[in-house]
């Protein structure tokens, strides 16, 4: 049984990046819910928990602690970027072992393939949720809310679903998840 902990970034009094009429906290929650729904409906032997399922504040420490207490196999933190760029990038903590780097490569590749946007690379950072989680952990930055073209994409429900599908395709590959028989293979 694969135990996947999904962390929709920000929430409550912390909106995250805000631009072009978008708030990161709402986008990350929508993407995370799609990921959870796809995993639970289309795959076998997977459990999913989330740090938040509505617009509430959850501290960075508590996000990691929730995953640690549950004994998650993987911690996935969903974010949207800001700062004038475009595209997708992912982060792991620099102190993580090779297994985490391999998971990052698999999931990152699947997301880029699904989204077909600029690949900003696989990076490492000292983000609290990556540092404090005891299991392999990945933080994804899915398009830029302050880039007009990226923001236009983020306004489309179909694009949020594509982002989620990319994450799920990567997770399924990384954790050898088997599809339920009733679902056809995902679109490529």
Among 24, 42, 89, 141, which one carries the catalytic annotation?
A: 141
Known active-site residue 62: no
Specify burial of residue 25 (Cβ count, 10 A radius: 0-12, 13-18, 19+): buried
What is the DSSP code (8-state) at residue 66?
H
Strand partners, 2: 46
Residue 121 backbone dihedrals phi, psi, to 5 degrees: 110, 170
Two tokens, residue 155:
């306004």
Cα–Cα separations (whole angstroms), residue 163 to 57, 62, 91, 107, 143: 23, 25, 16, 11, 10
Instruction: List residues with catalytic annotation.
Output: 141
């Amino acid at each position: 049984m694969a135990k996947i902990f999904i962390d929709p970034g920000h929430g409550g009094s912390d909106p995250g990046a805000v631009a072009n009429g978008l708030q990161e906290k709402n986008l990350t929650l929508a993407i995370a819910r799609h990921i959870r729904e796809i995993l639970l409906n289309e795959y076998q032997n997977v459990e999913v928990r989330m740090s938040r399922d509505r617009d509430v504040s959850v501290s960075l420490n508590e996000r990691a602690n929730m995953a640690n207490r549950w004994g998650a196999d993987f911690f996935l933190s969903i974010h949207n970027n800001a700062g004038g760029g475009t595209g997708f990038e992912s982060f792991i903590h620099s102190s993580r072992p090779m297994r985490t780097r391999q998971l990052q490569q698999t999931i990152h590749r699947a997301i880029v393939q699904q989204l077909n946007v600029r690949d900003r690379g696989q990076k490492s950072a000292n983000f609290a949720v990556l540092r404090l989680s005891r299991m392999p952990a990945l933080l994804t930055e899915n398009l830029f809310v302050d880039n007009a073209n990226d923001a236009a994409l983020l306004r489309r429900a179909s694009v949020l679903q594509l982002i989620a599908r990319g994450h799920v395709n990567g997770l399924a590959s990384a954790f050898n998840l088997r599809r339920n028989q009733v679902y056809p293979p995902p679109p490529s």
